[in-house]
Structure 1
Amino acid sequence: MEAPFAITEFVKRPGLGRDGRGIKVRANFFEVLTLPENDIIQYDVTITPDVPPRLNRRVFNKFSELNRGGALGGARPVYDGRKNMFAHKDMPFGNAGTFDVNLEEDGAAVGSKRPPRLFTVKIKKVSVIRIEELLRFLNARGSCTPNCLTAIMALDILIHHEPSILYTTVRKSFFTPQGARPLSGGTEVWQGYYQSARPTKGRMMINIDLSATAFYEAGPLVQMVTKILGRRSPDDLRRGFSDRDRQKVEKSIKGLRIRDNHLPGRKRKFKIERLTPTPASNTQFDRGDGSNIDVATYFYQQHNRRLNHAYLPCVIVRKNVYLPMEVCDVIEGQRHIRKLDDRQTADMIKFTCQQPQQRANKIRQGLDILNYRNNEYLRQFGTRISTEMAVVNARVLPAPLLNYHPSSREASFRPNFGQWNLRDKKVATGATLGSWSILAFMNERELRDQTIQGFIRELVNTCQETGMNIHNRNPPLDRANPQGNIEDSLKKIWLKAGNTAKAQPQIILCILPNTGVPLYAEIKRVCDTVIGVASQCVQFKHTLQPKKQYCANVCLKINVKLGGMNSFLHPAHIPFITDKPTIVMGADVTHPAPGNSVRPSIAALCGSMDARASRYAASIRIQSGGTEIIVDLANMVKELLKTFYQTCGRKPERILFYRDGVSEGQFKQVLEKEIYAIRAACQALDKDYKPNITFVVVQKRHHTRFFPIERRDTDRTGNCPPGTVVETDITHPFEFDFYLQSHAGLQGTSRPTHYHVLFDENGFNADGLQTLSYNLCYIYARCTRAVSLVPPVYYADLVCTRARFHSHSGVWSDTESSEEGTGAMATFGVVKQELQRVMYFM
């Protein structure tokens, strides 16, 4: 194999696009009007003993107060809570200094290790940050050097320093209890504000957005426990706790910080370790003289306090220290870091879902709280920040021509506002369905045969009208116990389908009693990896009075699962794909929840299989948890290139590779490793095979939002219209990136997708890549809307989600203990060969 080719800087912007109608929009970016004139001095801070950032900040702020006049020479340095301190001038103490700080005890939880009162703060000068170098980068006269990155980090720490003193902070956001809304289960949601310093062409900007997170409600612990158990008042708990109640409460409140309230004038702080198995009236402890007493009696004798809720368990705050629940109050400002349940999640979405105008106003309110104008830290560094939201240039790209079957009434049309319907349209290629069966995970009493048959009739009619060929209108029906052996039930009905139709079964339609994950996951595991047959799940509530629209949506999914094609774009609208054999690929890696070291990460790659980029095949790999680079990418690419060749009879001459889920800090590493893997895959097939590669990172997790200025430039939800593209003002100073809002708003404020080209041998200009990416969003097979990101990436994401269900040990569940997932690497089933070439994951 030849030496790896050199990948230097990422692709430079190849000029600006011209297609579409020009409009102006507001973006939630605020210009840094003046950067520091002088260089910034960076110091390294070490605080001993080692404590969490929250306490580090308190120590540092105390140190600042004590030494402002002396060792700091009147300066107000800023600090990130960990290692970095920045000052606007050299400190009088020279290159290094050591200081002692006494912190009065506050917030110390009794029973946990007491934070020591004496801290040592060591400060050492590390470097001088030249602002001149940052300006060269912003004006495209220099590259992004480590010095530039440090300057941007310094600006970030400068804008975060004051909020971190005043508010609860989490990474780049700070949260305020003003306007908090209760969620269920003793939690509430707080409004937060995110801020981040971003380099753009010729200037620095501050990106400000809303964020929200869950906190525990402060107040009486008894109230919280009542809410956790979903009761109306503490009196509803009189019958005592069942074992299950106890476990639920203990899991929810373990680690919570509380104050006791039974000693006049003295409130101590504790951390909850666990609950007693017995109520306060039955929980005995040793008085110290060999005699035992229960907690309720002790409180009456010792504190003259008769317990109102002696039937509740006590909280254990350290060995042999029991507190009745009613003497405990939950301390304010504690983040709820456990997974929210379904109801809490729904409430949270309601709170965070805001129309564009409303969101823009809330961001402006955040600016009032931030109060940049009167921020002494900013003033001292000579930094001023605009309070006006940036107005940026945008273009609205025209919708492409979409094609259905020639016999449709409207076989070719341009959708309006990113959406259309299937009325009078037939799918481009309808699959033929002859061998199939129905499996209802409900008994006859819950769902009658007649109802199921009525639904199947409606579904079959809709499929026929939409252009599919269904030979067998009365497939065999069976019933199964959702708690029973699902694998056996599916194998049985599969055999029945085959025997009835005297042909290989093509799909099993499953009717589910609810939206629970375990049953769905097991159906997918068995059908995808054990039997090798497509499956379509429907919830039983949709079968009761079948709606045409619902049946049409199910039909779109069934058609592609059987190898059909729903729609395609006019070749003139995707010339890059139709001119020469071209494969479009989408890749994604999903990781286990933070802190779960056992569960693996899953990598998925999807590749187009025809000249229309409408059909895709997928490849999956399981890799060790948390690895962002796709470890076995070369073999995955090889698999899909082979499939493309077998399907089309030609090798792709070009590869357009969209990569999801990579943060800026990982660009270089991912690019070098993954481009190399794509190259290696091509050369392993044939040493002279060198298709041109374009590698684009696709990001959805960012805080950029657009707000229309003119009424005529909005869709019906108040968002920018589909096809809005922004490539100046708030993008990279000189690299090839752009924001594209390709979908119509459904609710809340739409989030544009950020595309960043890291490598390009195909010589794309701005219009070419922006229009192609936008047009592809119209042929996502699952719905009749333009979607928010290019389909290959969307499909890769679906494949990752599906692959989680292919594990034998149920490691897809987000709640299982880490022990259960042990050895998970080996237990993932492989998708059967028969399904690998169709879109089984829809």
Structure 2
Amino acid sequence: MSHTEKGDKTATPRRLPITRPRELGKRRQTIQLLTNHFKVSGNPTHDFFYHYNVDLKYEDDHPVIGQGVCRKVMKQLHETYASLLDGKQFAYDGDKSLFTSGPLPFATNDFDVVIDGDALSRKIATSQSPGADGSPGPSDKKRMKQAGQSKRFKVDITFTAKVPISAIALVLGGGQESENSQEVLRVLDIILRQHAARQNRLLVRQSFFRRDSDCIKLGGGVLGCQGFHSSIRPTQSGLLLNCDLSTTMVVEPGPVIAFLLSNQGVKDTSSIDWGKAKRALNKLRIETTHTKAEFRIVGLSENSCYNQTFPLKQKDGNGTVDVTVYDYFMDRWSMKLEKSAHMPCLNVGKPNRPTYLPLEVCRLVPLQRYKRSLSTSQRSKLVEASRQRPDQRMSKLYGELRANNYDSEPMMKECGISIVPDFTQVQGRVLEAPQLSAADGRQLYTPNGRWNFNKNVSNRAYLEKGIVSSLLHLILSLFKCLSQFDLQSMEKYSAVIQEIHKMKHQSPAKRVEDMFRQVNIAFGGNNPEFLLCFLPEKNSDIYGPWKRECLAQRGIVTQCLVPPPNVKDQYLTNVLLKINAKLGGLNSLLKKEITHAIPHVSRIPTIIFGMDVSHGSPGRDVPSVAAVVSSLEWPIISKYRASVCTLPPRQEMIKTLFKQDGDTDHGLIKDSLVAFLGKNNKPKPEQIIIFRDGVSESQFDQVLNDELGQIMEACKFFGDKHFGGNWFPKFTVIVAQKNHHTRFFLRNGVNNVPPGTVVDGVICHPRNYDFYMCAHAGIIVCSLWDYKANTLPCAP
């Protein structure tokens, strides 16, 4: 919250410190709950964590890249030089940082670490893998010797800083967070990650996955691997370990050929698209069935296994001879390649030295992350299979805690820290559902936070001209429902246009172009106000080009749908609700809006902003899109306008809220303020409430300093232009986080917590003003998808 000093007309808005209310909320009935936070107990045996920098290189001074190799080197260092380390345990992050709970007996030291080649990696190419430049190259005997050769590393450990463990006590007491307190929490999380790494788990940020984890088959060669999330958090009741179930997508292990058939949805190898196969297999790891050696795929051969040749050195040393991969495996391994003889080979070598392997001797190894976006069908299967009763989820959490066995972690023991495996008890409050008003002042009944629109909406949109595309029988059903729905003039559609059959085999861009050719004929070259488009299937490739042409190029409101097999009135009603909102209508109003009874809002002119940034699918380098919505027509707050702009890929902070160009502001906030004031000189906003979605705790200060700072600048600039400079509204910023890992359970463990449940104590931050709210009814016990992480936090 920011404000200005009274009477100071030129003061700049300043930010007040964020503090929790002195007392917890007391309104409405209380409810006793359990939550998946577990007490971190014990007394630290030292006053400081000691931070050391780790510089890890190969013998030739090239840096070591890859957390897996780094962790193996540091593990070997600990075993080899235990006496030089004074027997101390350490927490290593897999990169440059190492922490101990007391000082090491040196400030800096160099170590030589030797690891057996087979123990370090199974990716050493042996004579079983034919290469293109004379490989297997040296004799089999020499290559076998190289496979078992030791590797030498140089490790430099240097003291960096001391981190006072007492810093966390300041936060727990309600004090200001500092770099030291954040560093203490980081060390504790590094200990948890190291513990998981020692158990050979896949690490995905703060989630861990075992090879024997339960998996969900999603189709397309993709599995939903169920694992475990853990992080240590400061709360009002001390340090708590937040544990939750989590799911990430992995490639289905097994024969490469089987994966390609499943991935492309074909039954015969002759139907495989090898261009798609190359993209799908890129950088995946495989294990050979005949040698158990492990490699990473870098591409496919240009020719089939039967025709792909490489120069093989003669045993007598008299030059080389070109042989095919097929013949080599027949002669060397007595393997008759039947399945993959006419398929390309996998290239597991280097760009200037390819190494070829037939597909049928290769298997994908487990726990390889699948980072592409899921199809609609895969998402549906994931959500369906993730449904669990709360008691089942609690049981799984107990099982994961036992499997992790944190008390066995040496670093935890040395720090004097243990985890109490009991769910934390908290008290919540259940707020009553808001009352809604629909058309003609009719009140909507909202039991358990649910309601149903039968016929009427609060404010109907008006449409003068429109077009409906395709499926006449469904259109008739839609307008039959529409007549009951009473959406004004929507029944007066202007044209029904169906795609020409021969165009269905053209590219999406051509199909859209031809459809608008028909639209132009039907409307004499004018754009219709509204388009209703029926698509043949979900994820149709025509959807993107169609939306782009309608919204970006022509400014036409559009609604696309893929009708289900059995169309019911409820489905049609839901479609009409979306159409009504898109055309500027209101589906419902809060009763308190009409009676001007919303606290802090109805009596003071208020504009409400909602801001979010959406990013492209993981692995895609596409622009991010920022959206800002703002309320209109105060004291009514249910009607909004929207503005969007593009940002650089993966950028979360919105940099275009205030964009001054000379004497003009081209930012997103200005348009919202102009629309709020309208043409009738409505009262200027005295307070601005901002709801910000999609930012993490580490970005809170950026939101306040960067985004709120821009909004303040936009208001100051706007005030100078329109109000003579005398405009300093109050600001409130509310960050909404949906994809956290806190879950609540009733004591019976069977039902979901009721909608409207609020928890604002015990597990909340000791200083920040935060709370948890279960705002909606749990129609099904399923989970929310986290697009950024490509993981699924399993939530009741």
Give the TM-score normalised by structure 1.
0.79
SS at match of 1:205: strand
Q: Partner letter of residue 60 of structure 1? A: M
Aligned to 1:553: 574
1:640 aligns with 2:652: no
Residue 44 of structure 1, aligned match among 53, 60, 69: 53
1:22-41 alignment runs, 5 A limit? 22-39=30-47, 40-41=49-50
Question: What's the CA shift string for 1:534-572, capped at 9, x where partnerless?
Answer: 112222x34x75421111111111212222211101125
Aligned to 2:250: 215
Aligned to 1:694: 732
Contact 2:372 2:618 in 1 (8 A): no
Question: What's the CA shift string for 1:552-593, capped at 9, x where partnerless?
Answer: 111111212222211101125523332222111100112334
Question: What's the CA shift string for 1:746-799, capped at 9, x where partnerless?
Answer: 33346699xxxxxxxxxxxxxxxxxxxxxxxxxxxxxxxxxx9xxxxxxxxxxx
Query: 1:228 Cα shift?
Result: 3.5
Query: 1:225 Cα shift?
Result: 3.8
Query: 1:284 Cα shift?
Result: 2.9
Residue 227 of structure 2, aligned match among 184, 192, 214: 192
| CA gap 1:458/1:53 in 2 versus in 1, 3 angstroms | same
| CA gap 1:119/1:740 in 2 versus in 1, 3 angstroms | same
Residue 107 of structure 2, aligned match among 90, 95, 113: 95
Task: Give me the identity figure in percent.
Answer: 31
Aligned to 1:311: 342
Q: Partner letter of residue 437 of structure 1? A: I
SS at match of 1:177: coil
1:160-199 alignment runs, 5 A limit? 160-166=193-199, 167-181=201-215, 182-199=217-234
1:436 aligns with 2:466: yes
Counterparts of 1:558 and 1:495 in 2: how far apart (Å)?
Answer: 25
SS at match of 2:773: strand
| CA gap 1:207/1:568 in 2 versus in 1, 3 angstroms | same
SS at match of 2:609: strand
| CA gap 1:414/1:654 in 2 versus in 1, 3 angstroms | farther
Aligned to 2:6: none
1:374 aligns with 2:408: yes
Question: What's the CA shift string for 1:186-237, capped at 9, x where partnerless?
Answer: 44333211110100014001111111223334444344344334456xxx43
Q: Partner letter of residue 188 of structure 1? A: L
Counterparts of 1:393 and 1:27 in 2: how far apart (Å)?
Answer: 10
Residue 427 of structure 1, aligned match among 451, 457, 467: 457
Q: Partner letter of residue 23 of structure 1? A: I
Contact 1:356 1:749 in 2 (8 A): no
Counterparts of 1:320 and 1:662 in 2: how far apart (Å)?
Answer: 44
Question: What's the CA shift string for 1:804-842, capped at 9, x where partnerless?
Answer: xxxxxxxxxxxxxxxxxxxxxxxxxxxxxxxxxxxxxxx
1:522 aligns with 2:522: no
Q: Partner letter of residue 127 of structure 1? A: A
Query: 1:5 Cα shift?
Result: 4.2
Contact 1:139 1:202 in 2 (8 A): no
1:457 aligns with 2:476: yes
Aligned to 1:248: 276
Residue 466 of structure 1, aligned match among 473, 485, 490: 485
Q: Partner letter of residue 104 of structure 1? A: D
Aligned to 2:238: 203
Counterparts of 2:702 and 2:289 in 1: how far apart (Å)?
Answer: 55
Contact 2:375 2:539 in 1 (8 A): no
Aligned to 1:150: 183
Aligned to 1:122: 156
| CA gap 1:261/1:538 in 2 versus in 1, 3 angstroms | closer
Counterparts of 1:341 and 1:353 in 2: how far apart (Å)?
Answer: 19
Counterparts of 2:517 and 2:19 in 1: how far apart (Å)?
Answer: 52
Aligned to 1:360: 394
Contact 2:468 2:493 in 1 (8 A): no
Aligned to 1:822: none
Counterparts of 1:341 and 1:149 in 2: how far apart (Å)?
Answer: 38
Counterparts of 1:728 and 1:54 in 2: how far apart (Å)?
Answer: 40
Contact 1:739 1:752 in 2 (8 A): no
Give the TM-score normalised by structure 2.
0.84
Contact 1:32 1:384 in 2 (8 A): yes
1:271 aligns with 2:305: no
Counterparts of 2:14 and 2:612 in 1: how far apart (Å)?
Answer: 25
1:7-18 alignment runs, 5 A limit? 7=15, 9-13=17-21, 15-18=23-26
- How many pairs does the alignment contain? 715
Uncovered stretches (5+) of structure 1, i.e. residues with no partner = 441-446, 754-787, 789-842
Query: 1:672 Cα shift?
Result: 0.9
Residue 311 of structure 2, aligned match among 283, 286, 290: 286
Residue 780 of structure 2, aligned match among 716, 725, 747: 747
Query: 1:18 Cα shift?
Result: 1.6
| CA gap 1:46/1:116 in 2 versus in 1, 3 angstroms | farther
Contact 1:378 1:384 in 2 (8 A): yes
SS at match of 1:577: coil
Instruction: Tell me whether 663-672 or 504-513 shows the greater mean CA deviation.
Output: 504-513
Question: What's the CA shift string for 1:322-371, capped at 9, x where partnerless?
Answer: 22222333333433334444544444334433332222211111101111
1:357-756 alignment runs, 5 A limit? 357-406=391-440, 411-423=442-454, 425-440=455-470, 447=471, 452=472, 454-470=473-489, 472-473=491-492, 475-480=494-499, 481=503, 483=506, 484-487=510-513, 489-490=515-516, 492-493=518-519, 496=522, 505-539=528-562, 541-542=563-564, 546-571=567-592, 574-597=598-621, 599-610=622-633, 611-634=635-658, 635-646=667-678, 649-686=682-719, 687-710=725-748, 718-749=751-782
Contact 1:428 1:568 in 2 (8 A): yes
Uncovered stretches (5+) of structure 2, i.e. residues with no partner = 1-8, 58-62, 127-145, 314-318, 659-666, 720-724, 787-794
Counterparts of 2:785 and 2:304 in 1: how far apart (Å)?
Answer: 54
Q: Partner letter of residue 550 of structure 2? A: C
Counterparts of 2:538 and 2:779 in 1: how far apart (Å)?
Answer: 22
Counterparts of 2:582 and 2:367 in 1: how far apart (Å)?
Answer: 49
Q: Partner letter of residue 99 of structure 1? A: F
Counterparts of 1:79 and 1:325 in 2: how far apart (Å)?
Answer: 38
| CA gap 1:189/1:299 in 2 versus in 1, 3 angstroms | same
Query: 1:290 Cα shift?
Result: 5.6
Instruction: Tell me whether 468-477 or 425-434 shows the greater mean CA deviation.
Output: 468-477
SS at match of 1:737: coil
| CA gap 1:439/1:27 in 2 versus in 1, 3 angstroms | same
Counterparts of 2:540 and 2:604 in 1: how far apart (Å)?
Answer: 43
Contact 1:498 1:505 in 2 (8 A): no
Aligned to 1:54: 68
Counterparts of 2:310 and 2:676 in 1: how far apart (Å)?
Answer: 73
Query: 1:595 Cα shift?
Result: 5.0
Contact 1:178 1:190 in 2 (8 A): no
Counterparts of 2:490 and 2:280 in 1: how far apart (Å)?
Answer: 54
Q: Partner letter of residue 606 of structure 2? A: T
Counterparts of 2:381 and 2:14 in 1: how far apart (Å)?
Answer: 50
Instruction: Tell me whether 253-262 or 696-705 shows the greater mean CA deviation.
Output: 253-262
Q: Partner letter of residue 62 of structure 1? A: Q
Question: What's the CA shift string for 1:426-470, capped at 9, x where partnerless?
Answer: 211122333222122xxxxxx5xxxx1x43333223223223222
Query: 1:594 Cα shift?
Result: 4.9
Question: What's the CA shift string for 1:619-667, capped at 9, x where partnerless?
Answer: 1122222322211112211110100100772322221100111111111
| CA gap 1:546/1:474 in 2 versus in 1, 3 angstroms | farther
Counterparts of 1:338 and 1:749 in 2: how far apart (Å)?
Answer: 22
